[in-house]
Chains A and B, each alone.
Chain A
Amino acid sequence: MKKVLLALLLASCAGTSQAVRENALLPALQMAWGNEETGVKSDIMHGIEISGVPDTGWLDLMVQNVETALFSGSIEEMRLIDIAILAPYARAGIQDRIDSGEWHFMAAEEPKQQLENFLWAWGLYVGFEAISFGPSPGRHQWLPRYGRVTDEAALAVMAQ
């Protein structure tokens, strides 16, 4: 009897946590992802467009995979995607919009923050251990800080 109660209690706790993920985190992620015109997707696509990468087919496919997984809400599918690979393209896309005068640098702070929040929320949704960033010293600083390191490495590869 005690074992049954324990199992029920654990299941109900896990259910609460999962319900918040599905009812709050996932819709917020989907909204921030946006479309070709606005949101994180737009920033990534713009970054890919200006990257100078000769064949962007695999990157376009990855964007499509992110969208499919995100709107299916499947944690398993989302875990298969290393979102950190796309983050530097989003940052490059935002920077290009600042450089071209499309966005004032102060106005660009919101899209920048949106990207960091999106990455943080993505990690929270799928579980941090599933992201191939390596060990985390502290998850609150971890994603943005590591993201910048990843940016430098990725942009260096892009420039070659």
Chain B
Amino acid sequence: MEAQLKNLLESALAETKIELGRSTSEVATYMAATAARLATLIGLPGYEDAVIAARNNVALYAAIKATERADAAHERVVGIIQGALFLAAQQLVNFTPPPEGGL
């Protein structure tokens, strides 16, 4: 059962071609929690639909994490560039042209 579930979840991740990067451990924790939850549902009405929804939840969770990581990295780099531009602008404002014939 556990092996089947693992395969199901892994195939979901493979289907979506998710690049997890640093999020792998978070997704692994989420997967483990999901598997543990599903184990308590065996035999209950709606179990099969719960398994499909759980697979989709892992894919969505992983994709959300991957996107947020990319966005955060993007924002950080943009922030650094903006900071550099601001400093450059400040330097331009403070810039005093050398007297003619200088330099």
Partners in one complex: yes
Residues of A within 8 A of B (CB): 6, 9-10, 13-14, 16-17, 19-21, 23-25, 27-29, 31-32, 34, 38-39, 97, 101-104, 106-111, 113-114, 117-118, 120-121, 124-125
**How many B residues, CB 8 Å from partner?**
40
B41 within 8 A of A: yes
B:37-69 near A, CB below 8 Å: 37-38, 40-41, 44-47, 49-54, 56-57, 59-64, 66-69
8 contacts between A and B (CB under 8 A): A24-B66, A38-B49, A104-B46, A106-B40, A110-B49, A117-B56, A120-B60, A125-B67
Question: How many residue pairs bridge A and B at CB < 8 Å?
Answer: 134
Closest chain-A Cβ to B17's Cβ sits at a distance in Å of: 5
Chain B residues closer than 8 Å to A125, beta-carbon distance: 67
On whether A109 and B37 interact (CB within 8 A), knowing A20-B66, A20-B67, A121-B63, the answer reads: yes
Please name the residue on chain A nearest to B76 by beta carbon: A13
Contact between B50 and A107 (Cβ–Cβ < 8 Å)? yes
Contact between A118 and B60 (Cβ–Cβ < 8 Å)? yes
- Contacting residue for A107 out of B15, B49, B77, CB 8 A: B49
B:55-92 near A, CB below 8 Å: 56-57, 59-64, 66-71, 73-74, 77-78, 81
Chain A residues closer than 8 Å to B17, beta-carbon distance: 23-24, 27
B32 within 8 A of A: no
Looking at chain B's contact residues, is the secondary structure mostly helix, strand, loop, or mixed? helix
Contact between A103 and B49 (Cβ–Cβ < 8 Å)? yes
B18 within 8 A of A: yes
Contact between A17 and B52 (Cβ–Cβ < 8 Å)? no
